[in-house]
């Protein structure tokens, strides 16, 4: 798939004072995009005049270049000790994604240029936690690898973590944009996890991310480059023939990687869930969605962001858990399942 290219790029004036901001500005000089220099607060007002569907469609064509001013990092269990952001949002448009709610009013993609300030915040949190190894998730707010051809921020952050003794970086992606980071000096301190699902889920609910084979190609390149690699299977969805299709998914992964399966391969398993506010927004943005969000078929679980989320009934959840574990034990007996949630 072709790398993401926005139609409009918004530069906050302060972003151009940073080397990454200058680099991105130069990158777009010969590209067929509209360049606007304005505070994001001004641009966001223009979006507020649009309907929900119009605002979402427009935002998916916009790239905003700005700064990350967060100084206090949030926990990111069970994935990592903390989460931080190189980007916010994603060029993809997955119907089930929790970003549909988390970034609902400003769904455009933001990239952050103040890398050294972000790294300083990471260093502060390493010293605060006082653990032998402190892990940081870079993909909770979006997919930074999807825009690496524009920013170079993932590669720079990989090399920053490569120099750390206690810090470890974790990145999830649905994109095969790995050529830009293959030769970085990672020292084994960055684990990539490729987001995978069945053909049905990807074709039906994911709009924009790369194909299954492109993601597996990315995994192969990362393993050959000696990166620690894993797979995140999310969201796991129950539908007709789901067991057969998830078995085929694991088989495809095995067939692609069977000669290079690393000793430290990991899996993370996340069942489909949604909040009521997410359900309402998804139904507006995707009125013809086939995503099953029948509240009566779910049970409520209190979420860490202060909202109840709907997850599968206990019997279904246990069936999902056992079947996923069974498939992983069969195809990848030496791998580690980090969690099921």
pLDDT by residue for the chain (341 residues), tens only, comes to 689 999 999 999 999 999 999 999 999 999 999 999 999 989 888 888 888 888 888 999 999 999 999 999 999 999 999 999 999 999 999 999 987 765 566 789 999 999 999 999 999 999 999 899 999 999 999 999 999 999 999 999 999 999 999 999 999 999 999 999 999 999 999 999 999 999 999 999 999 999 999 999 999 999 999 999 999 999 999 999 999 999 999 999 999 999 999 999 999 999 999 999 889 989 999 999 999 999 999 999 987 666 789 999 999 999 999 999 999 999 999 999 999 99
pLDDT of residue 135: 98
pLDDT of residue 102: 59
In angstroms, the Cα distances linking 26 to 22, 32, 105, 145, 335 are: 6, 13, 29, 20, 43
Cα 170 to Cα 184: distance, rounded to the nearest angstrom: 15
Closest CA to 135 of 122, 144, 148: 122
* H-helix or E-strand spanning residue 11: strand 8-11
Q: Which domains does the chain possess? A: 8-340 (3.80.30.30)
pLDDT of residue 50: 86
- Which residues lie below 8 Å from residue 196, measured CB to CB, with a gap of 6+? 212, 215, 231, 232, 233, 249, 253
Residue 303 is encoded by which pair of tokens? 């979420």
- Which residues lie below 8 Å from residue 90, measured CB to CB, with a gap of 6+? 97, 99, 109, 142, 143, 146, 208
pLDDT of residue 101: 65
pLDDT of residue 306: 65
pLDDT of residue 107: 83
pLDDT of residue 47: 85
């Amino acid at each position: 798939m072709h790398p993401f290219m926005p139609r409009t790029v918004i530069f906050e004036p302060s972003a151009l004072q940073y080397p990454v901001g200058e680099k991105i500005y130069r990158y777009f000089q010969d590209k067929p995009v509209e360049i606007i220099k304005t505070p994001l607060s001004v641009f966001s007002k223009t979006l507020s005049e649009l309907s929900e569907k119009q605002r979402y469609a427009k935002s998916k064509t916009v790239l905003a270049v700005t700064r990350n001013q967060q100084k206090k990092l949030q926990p990111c269990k069970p994935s990592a000790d903390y989460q931080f952001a190189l980007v916010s949002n994603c060029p993809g448009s997955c119907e089930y994604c929790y970003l549909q709610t988390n970034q609902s009013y400003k769904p455009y993609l933001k990239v952050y240029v103040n890398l050294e300030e972000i790294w300083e915040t990471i260093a502060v949190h390493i010293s605060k936690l006082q653990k032998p190894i402190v892990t940081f998730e870079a993909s909770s707010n979006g997919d930074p690898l999807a825009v690496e051809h524009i920013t170079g921020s993932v590669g720079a952050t990989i090399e920053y973590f490569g120099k750390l003794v206690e810090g470890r970086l974790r990145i999830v992606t649905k994109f095969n944009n790995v050529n830009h980071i293959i030769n970085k000096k990672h020292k084994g301190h960055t684990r990539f996890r490729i987001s995978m699902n069945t053909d049905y889920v990807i074709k039906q609910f994911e709009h924009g991310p790369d194909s299954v084979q492109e993601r597996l190609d990315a995994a192969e390149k990362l393993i050959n480059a000696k990166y620690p690699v894993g797979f995140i299977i999310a969201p796991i969805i129950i539908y007709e023939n789901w067991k057969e299709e998830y078995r085929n998914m694991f088989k495809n992964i095995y067939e692609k990687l069977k000669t290079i399966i690393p000793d430290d391969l990991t899996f993370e398993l996340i069942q489909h869930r949604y909040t009521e506010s997410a359900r309402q927004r998804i139904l507006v943005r995707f009125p013809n969605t086939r995503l099953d969000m029948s509240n009566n078929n779910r049970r409520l679980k209190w979420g860490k962001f202060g909202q109840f989320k709907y997850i599968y009934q206990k019997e279904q959840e246990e069936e999902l858990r056992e079947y996923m574990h069974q498939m992983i034990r069969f195809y990848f007996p030496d791998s580690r399942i980090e969690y099921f949630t």
